[in-house]
Amino acid sequence: MSFEIKIYYSDTDCGGVVYYANYLVYFEKARTEWMEERGAGVKDLAEKGVLFIVSKAEVNYRSPARYGDLLTVEVKAGKIGSARIVFTYRVVRKSDKKLIAEGSTDLACISEDIRPRRIPSEVLEKIKDK
């Protein structure tokens, strides 16, 4: 699945390049859309006491993105375990298909009292590739 991000001035640093931490925000937006597309929206899961937290994040920066660029964030679920999901991301500039960044996030499933828990089977059914 892919998600498009338009780069605004507020996304950039004083040099006009996308501020490095914003890629984590872009990852989260793409991941949220990915989950919602599969019927596992974050808000709906939270209302059922199923929460996910980022336990690890990595970003490898390959080329700068700048104000006005249109980026495509590709997101995939990698390893899905009993209590965690690893997502991988590729950020590509739409105009020339240049790789801008790539990375991953590990999400741990927790209960409302912040204790680890298994991902419910009905959620696993929705998020596993079909």
Assign 127 a pLDDT band (cuts: 50, 70, 90).
confident
Residue 31, Ramachandran bin (φ over 0: left; ψ between -120 and 50: alpha; else beta): alpha
Note the pLDDT tens digit of each residue in 10-47: 999 999 999 999 999 999 999 999 999 999 998 999 99
Clarify whether 13 is annotated catalytic: yes
Sign for the CA dihedral angle at 87, 4, 46, 21 comes to positive
Please provide the size of the chain in residues. Answer: 130
* pLDDT of 130 strictly over 70: no
Note the pLDDT tens digit of each residue in 68-86: 999 999 999 999 999 999 9
Q: How many CB atoms lie within 10 A of CB 70?
A: 12
Q: How far is CA 113 from CA 16, 49, 69, 109, 117, in A?
A: 42, 9, 41, 12, 10
Active-site option among 11, 13, 69, 96: 13
**Gyration radius of the chain over CA positions:** 16
* pLDDT of 129 strictly over 70: no
Q: What is the pTM of this model?
A: 0.92
- Residue range 2-127 forms a domain whose CATH class is alpha beta
Sign for the CA dihedral angle at 58, 73, 24, 60 comes to positive
Domain residue spans in the chain?
A: 2-127
Task: Output the pLDDT for position 104.
Answer: 98
Residue 2 contacts residue 75 (beta carbons within 8 Å): yes
C-alpha to C-alpha distance for 17 and 43, rounded to whole angstroms: 32
- Mean pLDDT of the 97-124 span: 94
Task: Output the pLDDT for position 128.
Answer: 83
